[in-house]
Every structure is written in structure tokens, then in C-alpha cells.
Structure 1
Amino acid sequence: MLGNLKPQAVDKILMLMGEFRADPRRDKIDLGVGVYRNAQGVTPIMRAVHAAEERLLQTETTKTYTALTGEPGFNAAMAELVLGQGYPADRLASVATPGGTGACRQAFELIRMASPDATIWVSDPTWPNHLSILRHLGMKVALYRYFDTETRGVDFAGMTEDLAAAQAGDVVLLHGCCHNPTGANLNLDQWERIADLLQRTGATPMIDIAYQGFGDGLEEDAAGVRLLAQRLPEMLIAASCSKNFGIYRERTGVLMALSDPAHREVTQGNLNYLNRQNYSFPPDHGARIVMTILNDPALRADWQAELEEVRLGMLALRQQLAEELRRLSGSDRFGFIAQHRGMFSRLGATPEQVEKMKKDHAIYMVGDSRINVAGLNESTVPVLARAMIEAGL
């Protein structure tokens, strides 16, 4: 039987990580992997996470199963974080998931159960795993224009023109903030216009929010999600705790579904069913860390302070890179880097230019020229800027 299996394509980012590890050059720079790193190249454990784990070590009395939904207190705390205080609990169904990826997978499964012929509208480009999972599930996919390769901003006219063709029963997948891989975000006026469009077409939004707090702030990064939740009858939200709590390996996420209150109980039952089919009970350790932090005023304040340090540090690196490129190029054509938000920016380099930077300067980035800004520090920013100019950007 197993001899009938066919080789699967290697994940390009994982392959790039292997190349980086094998490169013997000491001055090599890894801008490919999508993980936050501080100036020392370390993904630190946040202070509040340490404190919460110490508290759990002293107080936790069992490792027995939680509910199929996960710990209810975690789900409620995440709903408040994403949707804000006073979120519509009578409309909300939710389950804890193994990371944001698990939340996306469960959301796609739920869509397939509720609307088997649905087309999932996905931004071009998007996080590659969105498309990989959808194709694995055999679901219909349509791409909508998103990134303007000339301005390096959002092609909003193209986006809305494409999404006007969505229909009731379809799902429009949107990035809540810090778009991956481009770093180009919708502003609040554009979110309003997307809400208008979704009301006209009857399509349902699905929001993937994996970087809340990495862009313009915790509240600001959730503004688009909250706007759609207020204006539209239904939506799905896949949220990750990997980045903003720094608990990547704990695999902590949540899937939320907003519906008419009359449909909430059935929706919740279907979410429970999907958890049971895929992994029964979701991971709990990371969820309890998050719940402990969010429900304790002192821990929450310390977490928010450290998260703000992370956010401002990435913005400073963006500004430094844009200014260094302005100095070297004598133009403002790289100003978009300072305008983008989150860990990622797409530079607009060709695959040949990306390869040249890797060969000549040991700078590793994804082939579409997506860089992880958090892979830089004050010393390596000038190295990248010089490499970009020498590569002909």
C-alpha cells in the first residue's frame, strides 16, 4: 500500500531553512523563516509567559482532558482580545485549536460542511499554507488581486473589482492585519468598503488574524475584524497566539464563528464535532498560559508592554532600512518598507535578484522576495540595503 504513495513537494520555506543551516558563512542572514527574533537572533520567552507557567506549575492539579471546545475561559479571553469588550456572546461559537493553522483547517472543514459548493476567495498573494490546505481538501479557490507590484501597497481597486463576483455561499478569506507575505494592509475606510461589498454579494468573510499587536497595536490591529463583526450577520475568525505571545511550539489557537443567535447552538455543535474527528481534545498548556495572562491585570499589563516593545522594535528596523535605502539609492522608491506592518514585506525583487543576494551576501529570503523584518538588527540593516542596491533593485 505505502508503495503507492507519491513524493510531495517540499515546502519552499523549510527547504530555504535547510540551505541556510548548511551555509558555512558566518555573516549569513536569515530573513526567510516567519518567526519573531530579537536583536540577538533569539525568539525569547516573554516575561508574562514565564510568570504564568510558574503559576501553573504551582497550582495545576491534573492533566486530564479539557472539553472538546478547549478551556472555556481561554475561548472567552480570546474572544474579548479579538472582538473587544462586550463582544456578542449570543452569536459566538468557538473551539480551541492546535495553533492558527489548526483554526484555518477547522474553518475550511466547517465551510465544506455548510456550503459544499463554496468558492473560497483568497488574496493574491497569501500565506502559502492557505492554498495548500484548500487544495488538499479539494475545495474551490478563486484568487483576488491584492498587492500592487508597482506601489508595493494594496491594489484596492483590483481587489474590489474581483470580489464583486463573489456570491452568497462563497467565503472571502482576509488577513486581519500584518498581511503575509506582503506587509501591505487595508486601512479602516477600505475595511468599511469591504463590509459594503460583502453585504451586497452575501459572501461570508473569514479572517485569519495571526499577528494582532505586531502592526499598529492590539486594538488597532483588530479594528477591521470588529467592524465586520458589527456589520455582517456571519463570519469566521481564525486567531493564533504563536506570535503575540511567543508560544510557537505550544500550538495555541482558536476558531470563532459568529452567526444569528438562533444558529449558534448548531454551529457550536458542528465545531465540537470537527474537533472530535480531527484531534478530539485540543492542546491545553498554551491556552492556559494565555488565559492566565489575559485574566490577570498585572500579567496582562506586562505582556502588553513587552509586546509593544516588540512592535516598536520592528517599526524602527523598517524605518532604518527605508532611510538607508534612500541614502544609497537617492530616491524614495523604498518608502513602502516603512509603511508596511508586521514581520513581513515583499521587496519586489526578481527570483534572480533574490538568488544573487543569497550567493553574494549570504542573505536568505523567500523566492518571491518576502523578508522577515524581525530577522534583521541595526548592524545587518545596512548589509541588506547594500545587497539590494547591488542586486539592481
Structure 2
Amino acid sequence: MLELLPPPPTDPLWDLTAEFAADERPERLNLVLGVYRDAAGRTPVMAAVREAEIRLAERSASKEYRGLSGNTAFNRALVEMVLGSEGSGGPAGRAAAVQTVAGSGALRLLADLVCRTRPGTTVWISDPAYVNHRPILEAAGLRVRPYGWVDADGGFDAAGVLRELSGVRRDDVVLLQGCCHNPTGVDPSPQDWAALAELAVRDGWVPFVDLAYHGLGGGLEADLAATRMLAARVPEMLIAVSCSKNFGLYSDRTGCAIVLGASGQAVRHAETTLQNAARTLYSMPPEHGAAVVTTILEDERLSALWRAELDVMRGRIAANRTDLTAHLSALGCEVQARSLARQKGMFSMLPLSAEQMLRLRRQFAIYGTTSGRINIAGIPAHRIPFLAQGIAAVLGTGSGASADAVAAAGADTGDGARARQSPAVSSMP
């Protein structure tokens, strides 16, 4: 049987990660995977998470099955965080949620819900989009169509997006990233979000919001504002929530699928459909990460500690982008610097072609995706001049530094000595 399998495609991000791990150049810089790293280049466990884990260990809770919806206290806490409290009369009162295997699992469960409700539904995704959006949707049996996202200057193409989405049919689905767009870092303005909501209400399409980076752009409340506004205006909505980035629970695979409906019966049917889909995919999600998040959100002091840590992470990401912008401007890359300055969140799109990104990797040991995406949150602050010099050299607009000179600059930062001591250190989170 196995001999009949055709050669399958491999995952480009993990291929790059493996290539980086095998690269012995001391100046190498990994900006591929979407993980937050502190100033020393580490992906830390947040203090609030560590304290919650200690409490859970001391409590020695049972490992009994939770049920198809997972941790229901976690689900309530996530709905309240995203939509506000149910008692306030807001959209949370017409929402149902199930715990999922991270944000990707939420995307897949909600895609299955759409397919079981209306087989053959078209889902519209941005172009460019998160690399896993199309595969997840198509694997669930849905049709996928793209709509543009950025304009010629690298900003949000409000007129183009509204024009393209005006052709969306009633009951089709439009996938929107709630904040910190991956891979571009370009978000709509509040006015643009309001126009999208008006279009959804007028034409009857269903917003499908992917929330993976809330808290890392403009702050937690600001990053959730667009999702809350949409939820208050549209009769139906789907929301995939990830706890990987803002709680640092990457390997604990913690997420939530939320459905909003116009009636209680519709929401109950949707919740049961999500449970049935989960049953056939993985039965029940893992408990640990959900218990950690619930412990934090239900404790006032821990919640305040978590929000403070999240603000520190957000500040470091913003400082990295500002610093990179300044260095690029100083090297004569003013146009590229202005484009980067408008972006926010973990990722930025470099204005480089696939060939230029390949050159950046081969000549300067700087690893990003071929689309130009780099992880701003993963740059040690003292490596930013090295990165800027590499970008300028590839663009041909900087000081004309050679590959050897850029490499030497990278080694001089102090990372070279650390890399030589442990050349096989993996970049995996």
C-alpha cells in the first residue's frame, strides 16, 4: 500500500527550520517560525503561566475525561475575554464555544461546521494569507477564493477589499484576521472594519475571524475591538481563538472555537455539530493548557500579571520594528522603512522577491520565508543592525556592504561565540 503513495509536498516553514538547524554559520538568524523571543533570543514561560502550573500541580486534579467540549470553564473564560461578559447584554449571550487543539484545530472544526451546514460553501481568504488557511479549509471540503489585502504601497487596500468582497454571495464565508495580520502585519482601520461589517450585514455573508495574536499589536482591548464590533452587528459569526502566542502555550496546543447565532436553538445545534466533528477528529482536546488559561483568567492577580507580561512582549515587538525601520532609513532604504513602520504584530513583510529572500538566506544566513515574511518578535535587539545591513545589501540601496562584511557584523554582536559553542542548537519552539 505505502509504495503507491505519490511523493507528498513538505511543509515549507518546517523545511526552512530544518535547514536553519543544519546551518553552521555563527551569524545565522532564524526569523521563520512565529514564536516570541526575549532580548536574549529565548522563548520564555510567562511568570503567570508558571505560577498557574504550580497551583495545578499542588491541586493534583483528576485526569478524568472532560467531555467533547473540553474544559467548559475555559470556554466561558475565552468567550468573556473575546466578547465581554454574557450579563452585559452583548453578543456573548448568543455564543457557544468548544475547546480545540490550538487555533489550527479551531479553524478546522469551524470549517467542518460550515461544510456540514452548507456543503460546497466558498470561503474567501486574504491574499496573502496565513500559510495554513487554504490547506485547512480545503481539507474540510470547502472551496477557497482569494481577495486582495495590501495596496501597491504596502498599506491596507480598503477600496480594493470592499470592491472584491462586494461580489461575495449570501451565506458564503469571509475569513478575516482580527488583528496583526499574518503575514503582512497590515490591519484595517476602525473605519475600514466598520465598512466591512456594513457590507456583511447588507450582503449576508458570514465573518469567520481568526484571532491568534490579540494583545501583541495595539494592546488586548484594542486588538479585540474589531471582533467585538463585528459580533455586535452581524447575526452569525465564527471565531477561532489561539492561546499559543499571547499565553506562550505553543506546545500545549490550546484554543477555542466560538459560534454566534441569531437564536438559541441555532447555537445549540452548532455546538453539538462542533462536538461531533471533534469526536471524529481527536475526540477530546488536551486539558493542561486550558486549565492554565482558566486559572489565570479567573484569578484577578494572575490575570493582571499576565496582562502586564503581555504588554512587555508587545512593547518589545514594537521597539524591534521601530529600530529596524530606523536602521533601514539610515542605510538609504526609506521607502521600505516607511512600509514596515505601518505594520504591527509579530510579523512583517519585507519588500523582497523570492529570489532576494533566497539570497538573504544563502549569502547572509538570515532566514525568512520566500514570501518575505519575517518574525519581528524573534529578533534579538542587538541583531537588528545585522538584519538591516543584510536587507540593504540585497536591495542594493544601502552602503554596498559585502556578504563577508555583513557576516562579520553579525559575528561581532556576540551571537557568533554562542553559536560556535553550540552549533546544533535547534530553532524549534
TM-score, scaled to structure 1: 0.97
Paired residue type of 2:310: L
Distance of 1:89 and 1:368 partners within structure 2: 37
Q: Following TM superposition, by how much is the alpha carbon of 1:332 offset from its aligned partner in structure 2, in angstroms?
A: 4.7
Structure 1 counterpart SS, 2:42? coil
Distance of 2:12 and 2:159 partners within structure 1: 31
Q: Following TM superposition, by how much is the alpha carbon of 1:82 offset from its aligned partner in structure 2, in angstroms?
A: 1.0
Counterpart of 2:193?
Answer: 191
Distance of 1:109 and 1:333 partners within structure 2: 40
Counterpart of 1:285?
Answer: 288
Counterpart of 1:258?
Answer: 260
1:90–1:261 contact (8 Å) kept in structure 2:
no
Counterpart of 1:151?
Answer: 153
1:317–1:378 contact (8 Å) kept in structure 2:
yes
Structure 2 counterpart SS, 1:177? coil
Counterpart of 1:22?
Answer: 22
Map 1:18-97 → 2, pairs under 5 A? 18-85=18-85, 86=88, 87-97=90-100
Aligned length: 392
1:164 and 2:160 correspond: no
Structure 2 unaligned regions, length at least 5: 397-429
Paired residue type of 1:61: A
1:274 and 2:277 correspond: yes
Distance of 1:118 and 1:360 partners within structure 2: 45
Structure 2 counterpart SS, 1:354? helix
1:315–1:338 contact (8 Å) kept in structure 2:
no
Q: Deviations over 1:129-162 (max 9, x none)?
A: 11112222332111001122x3111111111111
Q: Deviations over 1:169-197 (max 9, x none)?
A: 20000001010000001111111000011
Structure 2 counterpart SS, 1:237? strand
Map 1:111-130 → 2, pairs under 5 A? 111-130=114-133
1:108 and 2:129 correspond: no
Counterpart of 1:133?
Answer: 136
Structure 2 counterpart SS, 1:128? coil
Structure 1 unaligned regions, length at least 5: none
Distance of 2:274 and 2:142 partners within structure 1: 19
Q: Deviations over 1:103-135 (max 9, x none)?
A: 000010000011113110000010111111222
Q: Following TM superposition, by how much is the alpha carbon of 1:270 offset from its aligned partner in structure 2, in angstroms?
A: 1.1
Q: Deviations over 1:222-277 (max 9, x none)?
A: 01100000000000000000000001000000000000123122112112211212
Structure 2 counterpart SS, 1:173? strand
Paired residue type of 1:152: G
2:83–2:92 contact (8 Å) kept in structure 1:
no
Map 1:219-230 → 2, pairs under 5 A? 219-230=221-232
Distance of 2:257 and 2:333 partners within structure 1: 47
Paired residue type of 1:255: A
Comparing 332-341 with 352-361, which one deviates more in the overlay? Answer: 332-341
Paired residue type of 1:373: I
TM-score, scaled to structure 2: 0.89
Q: Following TM superposition, by how much is the alpha carbon of 1:31 offset from its aligned partner in structure 2, in angstroms?
A: 0.8
Counterpart of 2:249?
Answer: 247
Distance of 2:368 and 2:93 partners within structure 1: 45
Q: Following TM superposition, by how much is the alpha carbon of 1:3 offset from its aligned partner in structure 2, in angstroms?
A: 2.4
Structure 1 counterpart SS, 2:395? coil
Distance of 1:232 and 1:254 partners within structure 2: 20
1:95–1:254 contact (8 Å) kept in structure 2:
yes
**Quick one: percent identity of the two aligned structures?**
42
